[in-house]
């Protein structure tokens, strides 16, 4: 009895889900291409590796019970959830995450997106889709050749008008899908990251203003704002890791000391050359409250956040005072 072939499909760049393991069974013997305009190269590649038939799901009816998998090009509306709901392993050519009215049926065990030809290989590694010895340019050339061969075969079965319409439809669909996914991800980021951060900042500002802790600290550091050494000390204090995240949201030191320095410079009691170093001295804490949020938006790993937050906060203890000194040197000749 011949050994059963198993194909491994992994997510592409910016894709989601998977990996999926595909194999022929007694009832499931067809790779369905539900992309419009014939059989897509990805569907054909999977079928070739499995030694089964690839069938155009638009022109020929394919029973769900016969599908090994469904290859789709949905930008995140209905099709991406239909086949997972029906119990069919789904491969989306667009790099999307679960979306649409049927998104609850999509998970990493039945859905993978952003798939390209190079993301398909035999599970045992015996027959990779593209030889690993190829250079990057050669690999691109082979992928292009495979696509062109399949497209020529599709075009030979279609009239020129239908082929043109199909080509235009795919191009427009790709652009629309990309913009749709970008808009959906933007809304998702706003809801999951930006709005909670704004709520946190509002709470911190309210706490600082209500307790008056910021004003107490600002009044205490006023005497340091009249000379270079004092400003270096001020920047060091503002950058202390356990203070900077608290001082950042309300910008208390920046407001109080900034107004004080502006009045003193305007009255002629403080040299205008102190304005530039003062700018860096009173802003050493800026952004300290945003570090964990920024790392989260960058999709950093939990370990990276755990190490990165204190690393950035402690680095401000060094860069804060240094920036004041550099600003003081650059202030010569400005006024």
Distant-in-sequence, close-in-space partners of 284: CB < 8 Å, separation ≥ 6: 234, 235, 236, 238, 239, 244, 316, 320, 321, 323, 324
Instruction: Give SS3 for 277.
Output: helix
For residue 131, what pLDDT is reported?
45
pLDDT at 138 over 60: no
Check: CB of residue 224 under 8 Å from CB of residue 231. yes
pLDDT in tens, 249-290: 556 667 667 766 776 677 676 677 778 888 888 888 777 767
Q: What is the pTM of this model?
A: 0.48
The β-bridge partners of 287 are none
Q: Are strands 67-72 and 90-92 parallel, antiparallel or unpaired?
A: parallel
Q: What is the band of 214 on the pLDDT scale with cuts at 50, 70, 90?
A: low
Q: What are phi and psi of 53, to 5 degrees?
A: -90, 140
CA distance 149 to 168: 19
Which residue among 9, 74, 121, 312 is the active-site one? 74
Q: Give every CB contact of residue 56 below 8 A, 6+ residues apart in sequence.
A: 33, 38, 39
pLDDT in tens, 181-199: 677 777 777 777 677 767 7
For residues 91-129, b (16+ Cβ closer than 10 Å) or e, as one string? bbbbbbbbbbebbebbeeebbbbbbbbbbbbeeeeeeeb
Angle at 237 between CA 235 and CA 239, to 5 degrees: 70
Confidence of residue 134 (pLDDT cuts 50, 70, 90): very low
Predicted pLDDT at 90:
92
3-state secondary structure of 231: helix
- Active site annotation includes 69: no
């Amino acid at each position: 009895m011949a050994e059963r072939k198993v194909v491994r499909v992994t997510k592409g760049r910016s894709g989601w889900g998977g990996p999926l393991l595909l194999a022929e069974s007694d009832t499931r013997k067809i790779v369905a291409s539900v992309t419009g305009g014939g059989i897509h190269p990805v569907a054909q590649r999977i079928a070739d590796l499995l030694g089964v038939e690839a069938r155009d799901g638009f022109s020929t009816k394919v029973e769900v019970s016969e599908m090994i998998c469904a290859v789709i090009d949905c930008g995140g509306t209905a099709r991406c959830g239909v086949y997972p709901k029906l119990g069919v392993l789904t491969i989306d050519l667009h790099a999307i995450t679960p979306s649409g009215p049927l998104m609850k049926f999509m998970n990493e065990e039945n859905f993978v997106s952003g798939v390209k030809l190079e993301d398909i290989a035999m599970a045992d590694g015996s027959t990779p889709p593209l030889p690993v010895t190829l250079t990057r340019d050669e690999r691109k050339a082979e992928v292009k050749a495979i696509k062109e061969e399949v497209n020529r075969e599709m075009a030979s079965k279609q009239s020129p008008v239908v082929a043109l319409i199909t080509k235009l439809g795919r191009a427009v669909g790709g652009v629309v899908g990309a913009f749709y996914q970008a808009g959906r991800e933007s809304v998702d980021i706003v809801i999951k990251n930006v709005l909670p951060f704004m709520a946190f900042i509002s709470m911190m500002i309210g706490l600082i203003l209500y307790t008056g802790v910021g004003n107490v600290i600002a009044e205490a550091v006023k005497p340091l704002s009249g000379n270079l050494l004092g400003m270096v000390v001020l920047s060091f204090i503002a950058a202390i890791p356990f203070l900077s995240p608290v001082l950042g949201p309300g910008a208390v030191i920046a407001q109080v000391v900034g107004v004080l320095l502006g009045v003193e410079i305007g009255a002629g009691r403080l040299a205008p050359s102190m304005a530039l170093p003062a700018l860096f001295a009173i802003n050493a804490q800026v952004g300290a409250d945003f570090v964990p949020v920024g790392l989260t938006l960058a999709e950093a790993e939990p370990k990276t956040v755990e190490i990165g937050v204190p690393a950035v906060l402690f680095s401000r203890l060094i860069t804060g005072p240094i920036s004041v000194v550099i600003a003081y040197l650059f202030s010569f000749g400005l006024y």
